[in-house]
Amino acid sequence: MKNYDVKDLSLAEQGKLRIDWAGREMPVVKVIKQRFAKEKPLEGIRISACLHITTETANLSLALREGGADLVLCASNPLSTQDDAAAALVDYGIPVNAIRGEDNETYYRHILTALEHKPQLTMDDGADLVSTLHKEHTELAADVIGGTEETTTGVIRLRNMARARKLGYPIIAVNDAQTKRFFDNRYGTGQSTIDGITRSTNILWAGRKVVVCGYGWCGKGIAKRAQGMGAQVIVTEVNPISALEAAMDGYQVMPLIEACKVGDIFITATGNKNVLDKAHFVQMKDGAIVANSGHFNVEINIPALESLSKSKRRIRPFVDEYTLNAGKHIYLLGEGRLINLAAAEGHPASVMDMSFANQALCLEWLVKMKGKLKPDVYPVPGDIDREVGRLKLSSMGIAIDSLTEEQRKYLESWESGT
Ligand code: ADE
């Protein structure tokens, strides 16, 4: 029997092993890949995809290629690329424009290179590809059948573009599918954020006061998992209904400026900018840890933190110690970039399975709908969402009940109960 250590393999071979490992947890994408191999719904279609380059994205890419797509990839964040997954994809013949830790200029150059592919479909995670296309290469929009958007931040940007009548082709908000946001945003972000913070700091969560800024689906997941690790969770919100929900879910809710006085660990998940700002850093305790789990690195005002500091040093990978003029220390994780992908491996494959199944099926649907949709942001068709749910349940060996004919009719009627 051949015995070898993973470390003896080339980067691409290591990536292939990890892609296979992730693939074991992605049965829904696998079923779609098998059907795509037979039906070739994306035959010859050029796709430019701006996604986090991970082993999960690799499995999606291979499924799309099986469906006949001609795909090129670029990263949707400078710090989320898994270089082994990128190398493996290139080895499989799928071009990838991404290097982990690339600077901003390289990041945008890579997006432009992906656009040179003259896409007929776009896939985006955060809307940088779509916005770059509309800013720098508007002429390309005419040939685009449609696109998909993976994340909350991207959907917000695209809706703003559509409202300003700047969007040149239809886009499906994959993020908003129930089988995406209820699971990926909540359980995926929840687990992987705790994972990223644990890997970078090795802190004990039990007994810590964890402040979660934002109680959307991501914030809900983070709060729940932090509580599960024994932390006392404080939620901060601007939306009264979300704040109420957090309070009734059992968390303390208070203004962020108050939370800053007592918190040990701060995690932003709002999608907004300067959530943790100068006034907040001033209030924080010595040793406070701050991390971001939102899509862009704007939630923590790093220039403000720098302006308050006399020195900064990296004390562990992903941990920068800021010594404030006042003498106390604040620890910023992952340069304020999304900590789950910067310091860990992003959402586990099992949850990306549903998000990426939605992606694949929406691309197929867009091709079927070619020419029938005006430029706008569209929801994932309900049939696709339910099909992903059904396939995932079946892969988990879970059977459910169905309505009797009598019950179905009752629900369609306005019969009373008496
Ligand atoms: N977004 C969050 N986690 C991810 C992952 N593992 N792969 C691709 N995109 C992601």
Q: Which protein residue has the closest C-alpha to ligand 1 atom 8?
A: 52
What separation in angstroms does the CA of 116 have from each of 35, 136, 141, 237, 251? 29, 11, 12, 42, 49
pLDDT tens, residue by residue, 228-274: 999 999 999 999 999 999 999 999 999 999 999 999 999 999 999 99
Interval between CA 352 and ligand 1 midpoint (Å): 7
Residue from 76, 292, 352 to probe ligand 1 pocket by mutation (most atoms less than 8 Å from CB): 352
pLDDT tens, residue by residue, 196-240: 999 999 999 999 999 999 999 999 999 999 999 999 999 999 999
Interval between CA 60 and ligand 1 midpoint (Å): 11
pLDDT for res 418: 67
- The domains spanning 6-180+347-395 and 187-342 adopt the same CATH topology: yes
Phi-psi category of residue 341: left, alpha or beta, with phi > 0 → left and psi -120 to 50 → alpha: alpha
Interval between CA 325 and ligand 1 midpoint (Å): 38
pLDDT at 95 exceeding the cut of 90: yes
pLDDT-derived band at 416 (thresholds 50, 70, 90) equals confident
Interval between CA 3 and ligand 1 midpoint (Å): 32
E strand segments, 4-114: 46-51, 70-75, 96-97
Interval between CA 81 and ligand 1 midpoint (Å): 10
Residue from 194, 296, 347 to probe ligand 1 pocket by mutation (most atoms less than 8 Å from CB): 347
pLDDT for res 417: 73
CATH of 6-180+347-395, one of 3.50.50.60, 3.40.1160.10, 3.40.50.1480, 3.40.50.2300: 3.40.50.1480
- pLDDT > 70 in the chain, percent: 99
Q: Would you list the domain boundaries of the chain?
A: 6-180+347-395, 187-342
pLDDT at 1 exceeding the cut of 80: no
Q: Is domain 187-342 in CATH 3.40.50.720, yes or no?
A: yes
Interval between CA 348 and ligand 1 midpoint (Å): 8
Classify strands 288-292 and 329-333 as parallel, antiparallel or unpaired: parallel
Residue from 18, 19, 56, 181 to probe ligand 1 pocket by mutation (most atoms less than 8 Å from CB): 56
Under a CB-based contact definition with an 8 Å cutoff, are residues 234 and 247 in contact? no
- Which protein residues touch ligand 1 with a CB less than 6 Å away? 51-52, 54, 56-57, 341, 346-347, 352
Going by C-beta distance under 8 Å and a sequence separation of 6 or more, which residues neighbour residue 169?
Answer: 141, 144, 145, 146, 147, 375
pLDDT for res 3: 74
- Of ligand 1's atoms, which has the minimum distance to the CA of residue 349? 6
pLDDT for res 7: 82
Closest CA to 42 of 24, 56, 18, 62: 62
pLDDT for res 234: 98
- Of ligand 1's atoms, which has the minimum distance to the CA of residue 192? 3
Q: Considering the chain, what is the average pLDDT of its residues?
A: 97
Interval between CA 52 and ligand 1 midpoint (Å): 6
